[in-house]
A and B are shown apart, each in its own frame.
Chain A
Amino acid sequence: MNNIFIDIDYAQIFKHGQKIGGDVYLLSKSPEENHIVSTLSDGLGSGVKANVLASLTAHMAHRLSFSPIDLSHSAQIIMDTLPVCKERKISYSTFTIADIRYADDLEKIDVNLVEYDNPPALRFRGAEPVSWERSKTELQREGAFKKEVISHSMFELEIGDRLVTFSDGVTQSGLGKGLPLGWRLDGVRKFIAEEIEKDPDISSRELSRAIVQKAYSLDGLASKDDITCSVIYVRRPRRLLIVTGPPFLKESDEIMGQKIREFDGKKIVSGGTTAQIVSRVFGAKLTLDLSCWSKDVPPASKMEGIDLVTEGMLTLSKVATILEKRINPADLPNDPAKKFVEMLLDSDQVHFLVGTKINEAHQDPNIPVEIGIRRTIIGRLRKALEDIYLKETSQEYL
């Protein structure tokens, strides 16, 4: 698995009273080609008309980015296709395209950024704003009253870097209310730097939401325009190890302990017998926490060095069901399955260490509930994590 993770998310609030937005954000990942394209487009006006135009632009930008045509040329094609408003003599929609390509090991991440009429994107290294050179291309289109300027830049993103793009709904928020000229780029930059300062590991999801919420509150909770913000954040992946099932051979217990010890990230041990083995190998005391359980899920235990210790098959199948049904963890009863799901959703890469010994006690036909086969349940978990939550997963047997 890669040692670098690109965390991308966005947040959006439509103009007050609109059910549809004139800002359109598109994100495509093509892992086979090590290629990600993030496009933000703002259509002139708001509502349906703006949405149609912005969608048109964003999709064109997207398609063209995945084609072999170079990005400046693509931008020109889009500009030539975009209609010019008859009354205002300005173009119908704006765009920011971040075309991200990376090497297989992600050690080098190249960004190709094309911006047209959106507020300029911001870059941060840690909490420090970074400025960079942009080259400008001028285009004179028929019917337009001024030359259009497309700016283009290329740079590398390193660990800890963020690229933030947003629509003018963000920079112009508060206009005429608390702030005579709106929030403005400097205000946004300062806010983002402060947010990162407060929480250096803030996720793209949280940061984009914080920015959008701030703009919304500056607008007096009745947004004047569509507010959209996307964040691209390059960081070390958050890893999670799930150990379940005793190893097939007793001699492998030590190997399992070794693997748990060496793992860099959070750790869950799922399974009573497994927990006892780990407790023995680690020489750590295992205590059951009777405060946190429910009818379907037995209580969790506590052990030093392990973040969560749960029962095995019942908890795992409950977790698989929760993931498959896309239930929000906040709506779950306070039991070990909830903690398990929260830890899964907070991770980028999940590794399963699966012991293959069969538990005779589970083979009793009198058991009232169906206890599945470990391998099947791990399969369900991995599928849900990859397909629904876009996590990377891997697995090994012991």
Chain B
Amino acid sequence: MKKSKVKVRICLGTACFVQGGADLLLYNDFVDPAILADCEIEGCSCLDECKVGNGSAPYVSINDKIYSGVNQDMFCKLLAEAVKNA
């Protein structure tokens, strides 16, 4: 059976974009293509997490679970894990 793709949403609201969201957008350059093939990545204008006040920007949602303060390394690990568990 074909695995369903991992749904990834990167928050690109102003605050997230300037605090690292822009780096995550370069995912083609630093994430393993094999992993990317199993992911469906899209941007979104705001995940509304900044208004709740827990954690720090940038926020990423992977299969509807929110992660905060995501940097490039962490992004790679999170994706790899999500793909493995899918």
Contact = CB atoms under 8 A, between A and B. Distances in A.
A81 B16 CA distance: 69
A42 interface: no
Interface string B34-56: 00000001111110001100001
Contacts of A362: 14-15
A324 B48 CA distance: 33
Nearest to B56: A366
B25 interface: yes
B52 to A, nearest CB: 10
A22 B20 CA distance: 58
B22 interface: yes
Contacts of A273: 13, 45-46
Contacts, number: 70
Contacts of A367: 15, 18-19
Contact of B14 (A272, A276, A288, A299): A272
Interface residues of B, number: 20
Contacts of B46: 272-273, 276
A23 interface: no
B65 to A, nearest CB: 20
A301 interface: yes
B83 interface: no
A313 B46 CA distance: 14
Contacts of B45: 272-273, 275-276, 286, 288, 301, 311
Contacts of B56: 366
Interface string B1-44: 00000000000111101110110010000000000000001111
Contacts of B79: none
B12 A314 contact: no
A359 B74 CA distance: 27
Contact of A359 (B12, B14, B19): B14
Given A314-B17, A359-B14, A299 B42 contact: no
Contacts of A390: none
B44 A313 contact: no
Contact of A298 (B22, B42, B51, B57): B22
Interface of A: 272-273, 275-276, 286-288, 290, 293, 295, 298-299, 301, 311-314, 359-362, 364, 366-369, 371
29 contacts: A272-B14, A273-B13, A273-B46, A276-B45, A276-B46, A288-B43, A290-B25, A290-B43, A293-B25, A298-B14, A298-B17, A299-B43, A311-B12, A311-B13, A311-B14, A311-B17, A312-B14, A313-B14, A314-B18, A361-B15, A361-B50, A361-B51, A361-B57, A362-B15, A364-B15, A366-B19, A368-B19, A371-B14, A371-B15
